[in-house]
Structures are given as C-alpha cells and as structure tokens.
Amino acid sequence: MLHSGHNEIDGVPVEVVRKRIRRINIRVAADGTVCLSVPKWWATLRQGEDFLREKWRWVQKTRAEVLARPAATRAPVTEAELEALRTLLGELNAMWAARVGEDGVSWKIRRVKSLWGCCHWRDRYITYNAELAHAPRDLVEYVVAHEYTHFAVHNHGPKFRALMDERLPGWQTLRRRLNRREWGETRQNAHLAQTPASRQTFGLEDIQPPCAAPEPVAAPTVAPPASRVPAAPAAQAGAKGRKLTFVQTEFWE
C-alpha cells in the first residue's frame, strides 16, 4: 500500500502527494522519479495506487524515454525575451480567438515548472509558461491552439485529439519537439523585433486584457507539443458522488 511521501515500486522511486486537484495525475520527473498526485478530499490513496498500477506499463515506457533524454540546459528568460513573447502571444491569442470563436479570453505569463500552458476554461483565461520565450513561433502557436481547444473539450481524450487534428494538422510532431525542447538556437524572438524591456517585473502574473477580434487571417502554421499525455478513462465514483477522472501527464523538470 502506497503512503504519502517517498515510496518504491519495482525499484522505481514514487513520490505520492495529496493535493486540492480534480483528477489523479501521474508525472515522470527528469531524474526518473514517478510523481503521483491524488485529490485530497474525494479520492483515496488506494484509488491512486490502483490507477498507478493500471498504468505501470505507460510509466515504465515514459520513464525510459525521459531518462534517455539529454539533460536540459535552460538559459534564464531576459526582459527583452519576455517582452517579445508578450508581443507574439498577443498576436497569436487574437488570431486563435477569432478563428475558433472564443471571445473575452484573457491570458497571462508565469514562470511554471511542469506545464507549457494551462486553460482555466471556467474563468476564461490562459496561463503560459515564460520559458516559451525560448521556443520558435510554430511551437508557441501550438500551445496557443492547444489551450484554445480546451475551451471546447476540457480533457485530452479522443474528442480533443480529433479537434486538434482538424484545427492544427501535425500537432503531435510539434508536441514532441516542444517537450524535447528541440529548438536549438532558433528562438521565437529571433524573428521578432526586440521591444523595450517591460515595465512590469518578470515573474508577476501579468494579466492581459481579452483579445479583440482581428481582421480575417489565413490559417496558422503548425504549433508545439501538448503539455500532457492523453487522458485515461474515467474511473469509479469517489466520495460525495463525485466522478473521479484520471490523467497521466509528462513532467519536464
């Protein structure tokens, strides 16, 4: 039986934490540690362990891929790069909001460890990882397309993947490139005019106003890899009649 904190399964380190989250999550850290997050109020550690064991083949496969990757070297994001990213995200958010018909969406940039983007569909805003300042335009656009698709589909199931195929053919390749940070020296600000350093302090949430509908534009180019692996099927109901849903994701730290 797993317990909160450090555990081992077949010699693999497993860290178990209870969080105020809606779904059971499995992540694989760069050092090979498996991170299991279990909803604090309406799921049990037994349910988390059962899900982990059910997905153990996926865990082993993903862990092998993560450990085979070269160590990521991360340059700090400068104020000039951050300002360039704001400019690019302003353009891409406006374009995708118009393309998919999602009005009144706000966005912000934060320093985030494990996700490239996060769609808060109930509150209609998106959070983007500041490290996207190092990614080329097509990978940044992928993240934008990915998050806007979550306004229509709130998980990573078959409907989400089908809609991404329709909106952005080739998105799986972009996801792989992004997760592996395959951009070398080709950074998005290399083809963006450098703007003056932001007056805002890097690391603040920097909420942007809702996107205004732009003039009609051509279909965008392909974009970057998704921050998560497709969601697993819904599981048994938890306490208070809540329906537990599980998702397995990949961690980039």
Mean pLDDT by 10 residues, the chain (253 residues): 85 88 84 88 87 90 82 77 95 95 92 84 92 94 96 91 95 90 57 32 33 33 38 41 43 33
**Contact (CB, 8 A) for 151 and 119:** yes
| Burial per residue of 122-157, b for 16 or more beta-carbon CB atoms within 10 angstroms, e otherwise | eeebbbbbbbbbbbbbbbbbbbbbbbbbbbebebbb
What confidence score (pLDDT) does residue 113 get?
Answer: 72
**Contact (CB, 8 A) for 194 and 142:** no
Cα-based distances in Å from 204 to 109, 129, 201, 222, 242 = 8, 12, 6, 29, 34
What confidence score (pLDDT) does residue 184 get?
Answer: 59
**Contact (CB, 8 A) for 178 and 143:** yes
- Pairing of the two strands 125-129 and 106-110: parallel
| Predicted model pTM | 0.56
Q: Nearest 5°: CA angle at 96, between 95 and 99? A: 90
Q: Which helix (H) or strand (E) holds 57?
A: helix 56-68
Q: What would the two tokens of residue 120 be?
A: 């808060």
What confidence score (pLDDT) does residue 181 get?
Answer: 81
Model confidence pLDDT, tens digit, residues 107-137 = 999 987 778 999 998 899 999 999 999 999 9
**Contact (CB, 8 A) for 150 and 119:** yes
| Pairwise CA distance, residues 236 & 249, whole Å | 20
Name the DSSP class of 40.
T
What confidence score (pLDDT) does residue 80 get?
Answer: 93
